[in-house]
Chains A and B, each alone.
Chain A
């Protein structure tokens, strides 16, 4: 299967390189964002669905 996948990759031509680079960039940015935030902020965000402000 992997051999078949690799053989198909030859049809990607130059289009594949910027595509994968763009994805990698977005993925890395997302990773950086995730690990540069404070724990308190995550705790606040996680609690939002559980605190809906109703008076019940």
Chain B
């Protein structure tokens, strides 16, 4: 053809993201395995603050979500987008800035999270300067992606690109609104969110659930729509189905966040909306799953032989299982059993290890030999990896389902006399420790497979040579001319910016409908007169509680069930959390709920000894030791800045209080230290200056405002 144009695809950037995907898989999963080991052998934190569960758990989640899966997304997008639009990436420079910027951010996360710098929100822990960097790099990715679409040679945008567009715009919206926080000082990594309590909870789970939806799901659906047809060498089963499930999925997903807050003090209407839309999600989700599996029609004989197709089949099946289970877990009566237990952890790992992990492995095995112009070093090793992944997934998740059901039923069990059968929370933990042990075995098997893959792919790379710039040709794009009577949607799907606009409108509807009534109608968060702001010492203690990631294991939200009110006290009210920035309701109870810890009237000495060595107080506890709380002095250098920031956000400290807050802090610390000395009958030289006094002050305050009413 005379109008054929010669160009090349940038494979080097694809290779770089592939390498980062593999490296971060090894790192993120190793950290996850270590965290799992600590839950079985709590002394494995080696009494080191930076190695303790509460700090490495967010490192694990960030490393596997944003580093492993994130780089996996970019690897797949950079490979498929160029080929789908028949154009090289818009700018090689932007590609490089994107790659190095993103991975620099991950390195910063890997340093700051173990050091305890966290904003606490799940999957949104990173400190405010890193949040700004993420926004900048994400916009660079967007410019590069949309620039490539604009200079494309193919008029139509394939459905995979729709998913990439929806991913980009939604992650942008989620990241911006979730990250709205005021730093206490430009020299500090600490910040307080602009939302508090119930509102912060809603925004968190609007963000948290949609991080799952638009980081772990929609981009991977895009990758599925590209790489499954490539691997099977046949077109997608139904393009019509892909259109219907795309628009339905992105519309519904954004509403589903409140299912993380069922039976909490979030208003009922918001909980019910979350439930209804979560249940509805099963339809578009299964539309995608069926479309993926049916793409293999007529090719199932190859699935027996080809490890790549095996990975993809199990990945899509895991997606189907996970997206069936998710809506079921959103039904209030089921959520009453599952929430705060390991059932949720198992559910999440079906999605991440199965869907994200195995689809990524399949893509890597398909892609690396192609860009290196060689064959996979060992097909049998890839087959072994497939079975290790499948078995690892089962050995990981089945024990955790078992643990979740067991523990939840134990929490709710009353004896014939009407008392809790398992009054001691710890007895419900020691019962499930064997399952925690099996989880370690499952994780080890899965990680072994990843190591095997790394070796296999390294040898594959060594046997070939990277085609950095892969030659391609395609006809020049014919300027589109609108025909009379043509449907407007053809314009939309040919124009990336119009697709961006419609996708934005679609995903914004749910967020606005759920958010604005909550903040605009006072009745949704009734005030309680006796609820007061934290004292300066309690505030510092709360920030240490956040630093140590206590929220990873301890909820602060008592649901209105008899089994919870008998165990923990009066159920939690929305008005109790209005000064909580961030909210600390948690999502998992590896330890007991602490919402009314202060009401338990435990002595300061009990807390002191328990934080120093939990097993001295509670034999068999899996809580780590916190010796550094006893040895480290409390840093009050930013106290004034903290009080002023909270005042700016509306916390009613008296005018000028910031200047005298330190005096109050010292006085309260002295009072607690004196009571502690009196109780323990030892000098405890200088204990009033230690961090542990602030933590004790915070714990003793929890839940006491209501009793004062």
Interface residues in chain A, defined as those with a beta carbon under 8 Å from any beta carbon in chain B: 1, 4-5, 8-9, 11-13, 15-16, 18-20, 22-23, 26-27, 29-31, 33-37, 41-42, 44-50, 52-55
Contact = CB atoms under 8 A, between A and B. Distances in A.
A32 B86 CA distance: 29
B272 A12 contact: yes
Nearest to A15: B269
A54 B470 contact: yes
Nearest to B270: A15
Given A23-B252, A34-B243, A45-B158, A50 B86 contact: no
Contacts of A47: 235
A5 B244 CA distance: 26
A37 B243 CA distance: 12
Main SS of the interface on chain A?
helix
Contacts of B489: 33, 37
B236 interface: yes
Contact of B276 (A12, A13, A27, A29): A12
A48 to B, nearest CB: 4
Chain B interface residue number, banded: 35 or more
Given A29-B247, A35-B240, 16 more contacts: A5-B331, A15-B273, A15-B513, A16-B272, A16-B276, A30-B246, A30-B248, A34-B240, A34-B243, A36-B487, A41-B490, A45-B239, A48-B84, A49-B226, A52-B84, A53-B153
A12 to B, nearest CB: 5
A42 B230 CA distance: 17
A31 to B, nearest CB: 6
For the residues of B in contact with A, the DSSP-based class is: helix
A49 B333 contact: no
B84 A55 contact: no
Contacts of A41: 156, 490
Contacts of B509: 22
A37 B487 contact: yes
Nearest to A10: B272
The 7 lowest CB-CB distance pairs between A and B, nearest first, are A52-B83, A46-B235, A11-B268, A53-B472, A30-B247, A53-B474, A11-B272
Contacts of A52: 83-84, 86, 472
A30 B243 contact: yes
B384 interface: no
B471 A50 contact: no
Given A15-B273, A50-B229, A34 B244 contact: yes
B506 interface: yes
A51 to B, nearest CB: 9
A22 to B, nearest CB: 6
Given A33-B487, A49-B80, A50-B235, A27 B248 contact: yes
B269 A26 contact: no
A1 B333 contact: yes
Contacts of A37: 487, 489-490
Interface of B: 9, 80, 83-84, 86, 153-154, 156, 158-160, 225-226, 229-230, 233-236, 239-240, 243-244, 246-248, 251-252, 255, 268-269, 271-273, 275-277, 279-280, 331-333, 470-474, 487, 489-490, 506, 509-510, 513, 517
A9 to B, nearest CB: 7
Contacts of A53: 83, 86, 153, 472-474
Contacts of A31: 244
A48 B252 CA distance: 28
B272 A8 contact: yes
A22 B252 CA distance: 10
A19 B513 contact: yes
Given A11-B268, A15-B513, A49-B229, A55 B158 contact: no
19 contacts: A4-B331, A5-B331, A12-B269, A16-B269, A16-B272, A19-B276, A23-B248, A23-B277, A26-B247, A26-B506, A30-B246, A34-B240, A42-B240, A45-B156, A46-B239, A49-B83, A50-B233, A52-B86, A53-B472
Most buried by B among A4, A23, A37: A23
A12 B84 contact: no
A42 B277 CA distance: 30
Contacts of A27: 244, 247-248
A42 B493 CA distance: 13
B91 to A, nearest CB: 20
B513 A54 contact: no
Nearest to A23: B251
Contacts of B248: 23, 26-27, 30
Contacts of B276: 9, 12, 16, 19-20
Nearest to A18: B513
Contacts of B225: 49
A13 B333 CA distance: 20
A18 to B, nearest CB: 7
Contacts of A26: 247-248, 251, 506
A38 to B, nearest CB: 10
A36 to B, nearest CB: 6
A39 to B, nearest CB: 10
